[in-house]
Amino acid sequence: MIGVLIPAHNEQALLAHCLHAVLSASAHPQLNGEPVRVLLVLDSCDDLSADIAAQYDVNVLSINARNVGVARATGAQWLLEQGARWISCTDADSRVAEDWLVAQLALGKDAVCGTVTVDDWGTEIDERAQSRYLAAYQARDGHRHIHGANLGVSATAYRRAGGFQPLACHEDVHLVQQLEACGASIACSHRPQATTSARLDSRAAGGLGDYLKSLLGAAEHDPHQAGPRADAL
């Protein structure tokens, strides 16, 4: 069984698009009928996220941690208990490609770091900031990015690495670093695709929204890049 893990905090505006895309990916014919369980972890939501989720064939857990690391760890543990052999992670403001799961699994690695494409830059992010982002982003195989919106890991490797830690931000980066430390094979690939929002009001401090804000001030550091990989492609 494949598990899909989606943490969410007040995502009523974008959640339906996320769930529709994930369920489409879960029904891909190249999965050969393998069951896929989609888990939405609602963390401290006081909007209509639960009502929206109820309209879809997904499992829902509600917690009150207001911590994305706790949300991902709680969800991953639930999926492991259900028998998941692989856990694919995305975010509630993102839309995965129809072949997302197929592309992750086809790489044959312990873990997969995919890429993301910004959906709509809107009016808040000027052209100079967009150019800075695109100049720094490596939309190719062998990239250096880690996104919770496009991350997959085998159950065996996840357990060996110690799982997601209760971090308010960069829990995805920390997991990949732990996977590297324990010798896991990691593919940093452009094949698994996800589209994400360019909103500036990040649900987690230090997330992509804050990075985009920093580009408005010409900052150069990308917090979604990791250190040297154990498995250089």
SS (H, E, C) the chain: CEEEEEEECCCCCCHHHHHHHHHHHHCCHHHCCCCEEEEEEEECCCCCHHHHHCCCCCEEEEECCCCHHHHHHHHHHHHHHCCCCEEEECCCCEEECCCHHHHHHHCCCCEEEEEEEECCCCCCCCHHHHHHHHHHCCCCCCCCECCCCCEEEEHHHHHHHCCCCCCCCCHHHHHHHHHHHCCCCEEEEEEEEEEECCCCCCCCCCCHHHHHHHHHCCCCCCCCECCCCCCCC
Percentage of the chain modeled with pLDDT above 90: 78
pLDDT digits (tens, 9 = 90+) for 120-136: 887 788 898 899 989 99
pLDDT digits (tens, 9 = 90+) for 71-89: 999 999 999 999 999 999 9
Q: What's the confidence (pLDDT) of residue 210?
A: 75
pLDDT over threshold 60, residue 218: no
CATH 3.40.50.300 fits 2-216, yes or no: no
Average pLDDT over residues 28-38: 98
pLDDT digits (tens, 9 = 90+) for 151-200: 999 999 999 999 999 999 999 999 999 999 999 999 999 999 999 987 77
pLDDT digits (tens, 9 = 90+) for 12-21: 999 999 999 9
Q: What's the confidence (pLDDT) of residue 202?
A: 67
Tokens of 214: 């920093």
Average pLDDT over residues 91-102: 98
Q: Which of 135, 144, 223 is nearest to 187 (CA)?
A: 144
Q: Which of 1-15, 47-61, 160-174, 202-216 has the lowest mean pLDDT?
A: 202-216
Q: What's the confidence (pLDDT) of residue 123?
A: 77
Average pLDDT over residues 36-46: 98
